Amino acid sequence: MHDIIGEKLREYYDDITKEDVPDRFIELLKILEKSSSSTKEN
């Protein structure tokens, strides 16, 4: 019925998801990994 809406919506969304994952998140995950592996070893 409103296929144009669906297309525009996916276009909008895909444009955002195409962006690279910011470093801050990769760094954050590294920190979380380090902290959880050190607690597990205790």
Nearest distance in Å: CB 27, other proteins: 9
- Shortest distance, position 5 Cβ to other proteins, whole Å: 5
The two three-digit tokens of residue 33, written as one number: 């990994």
DSSP class of residue 20 equals P
- In whole angstroms, the minimum distance from the beta carbon of 31 to other proteins comes to 10
Q: What's the CA gap between 20 and 22, in Å, rounded?
A: 6
Chain residues in the site for other proteins (CB under 8 A): 1-2, 4-6, 8-13, 15-19, 21-22, 24-26, 28-30, 32-34, 36-37, 40
Separation of first and last alpha carbons in the chain: 59
